[in-house]
Structure 1
Amino acid sequence: MCNASTLSILNLAHNNLTGLVPQCWGTFPSLWALDLQDNNLYGSIPDNFSNGNAFKTLKLNGNQLKGPLPRALAHCTKLEVLDVGNNNIEDTFPYWLETLPNLQVLSLRSNKFHGVIASFGIKPPFPSLKIFDISDNYFTGPLPVSYIHNFQGMKDANDNQNGLKYLGDNSSYNDSIVIVMKGLYMELTRILTVFTSIDLSNNMFEGEVPKVIGELHSLIGLNISHNRITGTIPLSLGNLNNLEWLDLSWNQLKGEIPMSLTNLNFLAVLNLSQNQFEGVIPTGRQFNTFGNNSYVGNPMLCGFPLSKSCNEDKERPPCSTLDKEESGFGWKVIVVGYACGMIFGIILGCNVFFVGKLEWLARLVEVVLNVRLIRTNIANHANGWRRN
């Protein structure tokens, strides 16, 4: 087929083709759509893409391709869709693709990409990107904040849209993409130009969820699950008014679930399981539709829909019978002593006031002595009676 230089569309997807990808296909001046997905092709991707080529769609996903991603792809300045997912490509993040002005779909999922993702410094990088899928790789370091902050295509995807539009609308080839949508693998047989999603799941990212994600107002799907993300959920996620699914499961997130997430009126799927969240689960709007599976593995969470109530009082241990008896006895002694002391004090006060201190005191001494004398006489009399 190397003689078919006038070919514009080559679609050999979903067959049992084996062998290498012909190098000559990268030099066809009129070829703008090459779809070889879901075959058994092996070897490396052609590295001879020339300047000024016509490629808009390049789909090599679902094969056994290996080696690095060729830098010659940076020559494909008209490229809109690049899907090399589900291969054995081993490389660092292709930062040099950030210069492509028309790239809207980038899928590197399920390969052996690795290392820290750092921007090359182009501003803005990936200016038109709307689908960013780098899941199931070996990326490390913090989440790519410098890219997320500049995903302009995910901030205003709905602007200036009159009716539904698809990628490649005015052509005989329909772009498609396989993504994880709401927890399920799904193939979009046509890609709406307003569809936006980010999938960073199943890597080794660390650090916190960047607040700038809240600026992607057109974002429909966000998946950061199965990483090593720490910190809390930023309140800014409540600004993602078009978000339909949010998966932050299997990380090390902590703190309370922010009430701002209840502002997400289109949120249909929420997965916060297997983290370290605590406190009361927010209620209202879409949060009233989520089940236990959204929160499993967070033992410090409470409230609907969990069976654990937030106002459960711990039962106080019952007092023993002995404690109760001792407590009652002590209380009685105190009351009796207090009453006697009070009566004695009143009598003493009245006598001192009305009779006079010295006179009353003398009488009191006299009474005490007389009482002692009487007791002595009685005792002597009793002893004499016993002798007789």
Structure 2
Amino acid sequence: MTGCRLNGEIPGSFCQLINLESLDLSLNNLSGTIPAGFNHCHALKELLLNNNSLAGPLPLTLFQATSLVSLNLSFNKLSGSLPPQIYQLHRLQILNISSNNLNGPLPAQLGTLIHLKTLKLGHNEFTGEIPTPLGGLLALRQLSLKNNRLTGSIPRSISHLRRLETLDLSENRLQGEIPIEFSQLVNLETLSLYSNCLSGLIPEELGGLERLSVLLLSDNEFEGGTPVDSLRRLSLTETDVPGLLEENESDSNEEEDEDDEDSEEGGEEEF
């Protein structure tokens, strides 16, 4: 029932369909809150409620729907925190709650969702530090925490995510240096760290990442040179990084602001 111009609230009767495996109500005009009874849908593997106008907090009973493999609540008006009960969704492979009004710290229990391949929490109001246990999500391929209010340094544990292809921590308040251990992210294709308070040298070891083609570092306080030979897109605007290769000058003078989250119709952002 995606894109059917549905409006009003989600009927609670959906929660009585105990054999329901997939519910896609995305791209509608639904309002109200998320029903509290999805924990009764014991076979539910996929719940897609993205691109609506749902509001209110995440119901704790939602995290008792332990058969869920894919949960997409992005592009709504949800508020409140992401509770530690998230650990109960131990089968999750895709979690996308980007572009809401969620706040508070990110629960360390996210690090127990070891089957996650995609984790998108960007465009919210999360605060505090990035939980170190995220480094235990060894199956993760996409991690986006962009445009929140996260502080502290980038955990070195992120370097354990050897399958990671996209890492987007941009538009936060992160400090410190890029961990040199990021050179171990051998499958990384996109690294976006722009609009933070990062400083120090850009690790030359990043130049050894053969698949890295997009590096977005603008609006930070880096110094020294940067490995650019293999990059397809480079942004270093408003940094203090001399020594760019001549052929990359046009890219370095262009402000990159990758907000695909806001333009993707289905609520799946690029980063």
Same fold, TM-score > 0.5, yes or no: yes
Q: Does 1:136 align with 2:81?
A: no
1:151 corresponds in structure 2 to 137
Count, aligned residues: 248
Between 1 and 2, higher relative CO (CA 8 Å, sep ≥ 6) is seen in: 2
1:82 corresponds in structure 2 to 71
How far has the Cα of 1:300 moved from its partner? 4.2
How far has the Cα of 1:51 moved from its partner? 4.6
Q: Does 1:32 align with 2:21?
A: yes
2:266 corresponds in structure 1 to none
How far has the Cα of 1:46 moved from its partner? 0.8
DSSP-derived class of the 1:153 partner: coil
Within 5 Å, give how 1:223-372 maps onto structure 2: 223-284=168-229, 286-287=230-231, 289-291=232-234, 294-305=235-246
DSSP-derived class of the 1:262 partner: helix
What amino acid is aligned across from residue 94 of structure 1 in structure 2?
A: P
For 1:255 and 1:50, how far apart are their aligned partners in 2? Answer: 48
DSSP-derived class of the 1:82 partner: strand
For 1:222 and 1:117, how far apart are their aligned partners in 2? Answer: 17
Instruction: Please identify runs of 4+ aligned residues in structure 1 that moved more than 6 A.
Output: none
Contact 2:93 2:115 survives alignment (8 Å) = yes
Contact 2:123 2:147 survives alignment (8 Å) = yes
DSSP-derived class of the 1:205 partner: strand
How far has the Cα of 1:138 moved from its partner? 0.4
How far has the Cα of 1:30 moved from its partner? 0.9
2:263 corresponds in structure 1 to none
TM-score (norm 2): 0.87
For 1:219 and 1:299, how far apart are their aligned partners in 2? Answer: 28
Relative to structure 1, is the Cα distance of residues 282 and 76 closer, same or farther in structure 2, using a 3 angstrom cutoff?
A: same
How far has the Cα of 1:254 moved from its partner? 0.7
2:158 corresponds in structure 1 to 213
How far has the Cα of 1:261 moved from its partner? 0.5
What do the CA deviations read for 1:91-113 (whole angstroms, capped 9, x no partner)? 10132122222100001101111
For 2:74 and 2:228, how far apart are their aligned partners in 1? Answer: 38
What is the identity percentage for the equivalent residue pairs of Structure 1 and Structure 2?
Answer: 34
Structure 1: stretches of 5+ with no match in the other structure: 1-11, 155-195, 308-388
2:47 corresponds in structure 1 to 58
RMSD: 1.7
Structure 2: stretches of 5+ with no match in the other structure: 250-271
For 2:189 and 2:138, how far apart are their aligned partners in 1? Answer: 19
What do the CA deviations read for 1:99-133 (whole angstroms, capped 9, x no partner)? 2221000011011110112325x9x6112111100
DSSP-derived class of the 1:41 partner: strand
Contact 1:89 1:113 survives alignment (8 Å) = yes
Contact 1:277 1:301 survives alignment (8 Å) = no
For 1:283 and 1:92, how far apart are their aligned partners in 2? Answer: 39
Q: Does 1:107 align with 2:48?
A: no
Contact 2:15 2:40 survives alignment (8 Å) = no
Q: Does 1:127 align with 2:114?
A: yes
TM-score (norm 1): 0.61
